[in-house]
Chain A
């Protein structure tokens, strides 16, 4: 009887250890692709990341060489357009949720924002195609930027709301007690206090849409040359990577790896930057 009990106990301990090991192996399997992707990006991409890559236009089909200068600049341009539309709407919308909205309105808006965050990004491409491209009969930088902006809005709205809610009420009360009007209190005291968190949210949203390809396929469309106007198609780094990756040319494959390495490095720099910005404050947002 007694020995049976100890056996049982040992067995339970073994089972617990087994479960821990299984969970550990799962965790390793989850992060394994990260390591593999990085490893292959480095060994396949590093040799093609050179001066030409950053300064030259794509070479004509069939010729070796050329770079992705227009795609890198194009991506930055698209992010600028997306930011110009998405940041004010997202930030001010988030401020409304945190400062004004009644509980019922807020829960509806929050719910919709969360649902929007789950909409496939290619849907935004289709919507902007119908809204802008069909209407103006041309793929354009404006359409691409708008598609990215629409993805950013619910993201920024939610992060802004959360950090603004973290600002202690005493700050608001102190400002109001001094006779400062409510909107000035919000802009100069509350948003200023929360600015680090708001900027974090904005940067993360930019990093997220900076790697988006699907919504750009039929809005920005891509361009093998420099873009000269907002009403023309424009190149973007993720778009160029996609086109090159599915092409039959070896040289283009090499450039796709190089482009991917550059894109991932950019996105990770933003993420690391954000982590440093938020760490010393303790109020992590992301």
Chain B
């Protein structure tokens, strides 16, 4: 029996030998094709930097470093200084962080540590839905619902009781820096919450068990064993939120009032780097005006890329794929 099989095998062998080995060409071609596509991310980073740099080269030459430190924005006189926009971007983002960071981290702690199990998944889904609302729709809601409400109730209250702080002085118009900050806070809450949640989830259970074994209450375990352990990652989540806050465009443009000025009162209108681009780019009539706007884009790109690099470095050290997954 076996002898026959061996014989058969021998007779088959020459036929097999005639088959040519699978071509390597397809493999190589496919590998190179996918490599070319993957390198798109490198190309894109270079492309952004290059286009913005080329687009603003004249303005950079003409205004130099003063562009960042002067506050006249007068397209007619061709005087361009970006300081009020940088100021507006930083202040509105700061307001947003002051509101969103405690809320976001508390919600993340609630979702991973404190909430009853059945409530967690529905809440997570709702937060994901909030993240899916486009900026322009939040802006629409901001103009017609949030700003009138703020103008009628919380702002007069703040003015009456905290009017001695320069932040809450002056007439209340409606669209203002404060409203801009609040709308940005709403926009960045989902990302801060979901990234923080992933960070807290990656805290080893051993930490919690140790705390409970020592007789800690639920909150003590959360504070001592979880939150302080995850400090660095949570900081990363905050920085990531800051990156998004700095670049928020449409919703802010619709409620911040769009006036380039540097004033202490948060009830006065402001302007951000992103909103000046949104409002004035198509109106730029002269070359130098357009170049100045390109330079605004360059400044915005520079700030956000630095902030994002920092955030990625902080989150990278946690080395959880799930945390980076939540970023998207």
Q: Which residues of A contact B (CB under 8 A)?
A: 12-13, 15-16, 18-20, 22-24, 26-27, 29-31, 33-34, 36-37, 40-41, 44, 88-97, 99-101, 109-127, 129-131, 134, 150, 153-155, 157-159, 162, 179, 181-184, 186-187, 204, 207-208, 210-214, 217-218, 221, 238, 241-242, 245-246, 253, 256-257, 260, 263-264, 267-268, 271, 275, 286
Q: Which residues of B contact A (CB under 8 A)?
A: 22-23, 26-27, 29-31, 33-35, 37-42, 44-45, 47-48, 51-52, 54-55, 102-104, 106-107, 109-111, 114-115, 123, 125-130, 132-141, 143-145, 186, 189-190, 193, 217-220, 222-223, 240, 243-244, 246-250, 254, 274, 277-278, 281-282, 293-294, 297, 300-301, 304-305, 307-309, 311-312, 316, 321, 324-325, 327-328
Out of A29, A92, A110, A179, name the residue touching B37 (CB < 8 Å).
Answer: A92
**A13→B215 CA distance, assembly (Å):** 11
7 nearest CB pairs, A to B: A120-B247, A211-B134, A183-B30, A23-B110, A96-B34, A26-B106, A118-B308
Q: Which residues of chain B are near A19, meaning CB under 8 Å?
A: 114, 218-219, 222-223
Is B106 touching A183 in the complex (CB atoms < 8 A)? no
Is B54 touching A130 in the complex (CB atoms < 8 A)? yes
Is B40 touching A89 in the complex (CB atoms < 8 A)? yes
Is B282 touching A221 in the complex (CB atoms < 8 A)? yes
Out of B37, B104, B115, B219, name the residue touching A16 (CB < 8 Å).
Answer: B219
Is B324 touching A114 in the complex (CB atoms < 8 A)? yes
Out of A112, A214, A286, name the residue touching B278 (CB < 8 Å).
Answer: A214
Out of A31, A100, A155, name the residue touching B34 (CB < 8 Å).
Answer: A100
With contacts A93-B34, A181-B23, A221-B282 taken as known, whether A22 is within 8 angstroms of B45 at the C-beta atoms is no
**A109→B41 CA distance, assembly (Å):** 7
CB nearest to A108 among chain B residues = B42
Is A155 touching B328 in the complex (CB atoms < 8 A)? yes
Q: Which residues of chain A are near B130, meaning CB under 8 Å?
A: 30-31, 33-34
Is A264 touching B133 in the complex (CB atoms < 8 A)? yes
Q: Which residues of chain A are near B219, meaning CB under 8 Å?
A: 15-16, 18-20
CB nearest to B54 among chain A residues = A130
Report the minimum CB–CB distance from A213 to chain B (whole Å): 4
With contacts A119-B48, A253-B144 taken as known, whether A271 is within 8 angstroms of B128 at the C-beta atoms is yes
Out of B37, B103, B133, B301, name the residue touching A37 (CB < 8 Å).
Answer: B133
With contacts A118-B311, A162-B325 taken as known, whether A129 is within 8 angstroms of B281 at the C-beta atoms is yes
With contacts A96-B35, A115-B305, A150-B44 taken as known, whether A268 is within 8 angstroms of B55 at the C-beta atoms is no
Q: Which residues of chain B are near A122, meaning CB under 8 Å?
A: 247, 249, 274, 277-278, 297, 300
